Amino acid sequence: MSDHTDERETFHHDPIGHAEARAGMTVGELADSYGEAGIGASDIHEAVDIYSEMLDDDVTTFFGLAGAMVPTGMRAIVSELIRDGHIDVLVTTGANCTHDSIEAIGGKHHHGEVTPEGQTEREHDETLRDEGVDRIYNVYLPQEHFALFENHLRDEVFSTLEDEGAVSIQRMTEELGRANSEVNEREDVPEDAGVLAAAYENDVPVYCPAFQDSVLGLQAWMYSQTSEFTVDALADMTDITDIAYEADSAGAMVVGGGVPKNYVLQTMLVSPDAYDYAVQLTMDPSNTGGLSGATLDEARSWGKLEKDARNVSVYADATITLPLVVAAARERHSS
């Protein structure tokens, strides 16, 4: 048998170890242990390593939040990151803004079922329709909360903006954050005031480039039919590109895909620099050619990431990976 040892120019002596799962481990220790393993475990380990560097004060962090992350219980994680100064720019969906606001003013999401015993999924959803309950996989939301949200928007948000002329989407989310914060305190709501309130209280801009695709957007459109309220969809692009342009170092944490992902990444196309760090948490595969699963390495070809940027894509359910990556990175950053 010939010896090819001298021909292995790309091979390094770095044998796979074995992850540990022992009682008493911290989440940071578990993530470190993942670094001994391969496939998704090693990606999680790298994501923690990169994201912990993004938490440094000299890195301007853009956070993209897509999917049903608020109604599925990820709300407090994002709020706390904002309050602790770890998010400089938030880009999210109208749906997340809607569900965040519903909880801020007294509504609540509930544990549910996809297919209860004795029913097909369709039969179950027909029953929920009759009972006035909306389903997000295994999460329920009573429809009366949307009526509460509609009144909140009309009385506390839109009416205060209609005399300002065409407002930016960021100005609207800022006003929604203010209203959420004030109503939450005034009504003594047990639930925290949430993401938009935290952003308002800490001067963090929230961009929602496709807010029309949500109950928030529907309500804004309906209000505009009988008032002077209107939104300028292009106005935000000046502000977010200015932030990117002025950043000495920038990082992107992208949770999910769609519009928030692209809006975060495309910001660097009109900046002289690009992202120095990027972490993506997604379940969409890259081989379909779709944006949501596209690798961050692909984004490098567009000039959205620096050539020497540190980046990783983690392909798994973000309700599992986001808490793990954030907790482990914050543990490392605080030590």
Give the pair of three-digit tokens for residue 259. Answer: 């519009």
At 289, is the pLDDT very low, low, confident or very high (cuts 50, 70, 90)?
A: confident
- Is 3's pLDDT higher than 70? no
SS3 content of the chain, % helix, strand, coil (to 5): 50, 15, 35
> Which H, E and C letters describe 212-225, residue by residue?
CCCHHHHHHHHHHC
pLDDT tens-digit profile of 129-161? 999 999 999 999 999 999 999 999 999 999 999
Tokens representing 149 are 């949200």
Residue in the block written with tokens 């380990």: 45
* Confidence (pLDDT) at 335: 75
Residue with tokens 């999680």: 44
Q: What is the pLDDT of residues 199-231, one digit of tens each?
A: 999 999 999 999 999 999 999 999 999 999 999
Within the chain, residue ranges assigned H as helices are 27-34, 39-54, 75-83, 94-104, 121-131, 144-152, 159-161, 169-186, 195-201, 215-224, 236-246, 258-266, 296-301, 318-334
The residue-averaged pLDDT of 45-55 equals: 96
Where is 207: in which H helix or E strand? strand 206-207
Q: Is 304 a catalytic residue?
A: yes
Name residue 136's beta-bridge partners: 139
Alpha carbon distance 100, 113 (integer Å):
22
List the one residue out of 98, 323, 53, 58 whose CA is nearest residue 206.
98
Q: pLDDT at residue 305 above 70?
A: yes
The confidence score (pLDDT) of residue 185 equals 97
Write down the catalytic residue from 108, 261, 304, 307: 304
Give pLDDT, residue 180.
98
Is the predicted pLDDT of residue 20 greater than 90, yes or no? no
| Closest to 17 measured CA to CA, from 36, 39, 42, 32 | 36
**Rounded distance, CA 174 to CA 196, Å?**
7
pLDDT the model gives residue 331 = 94
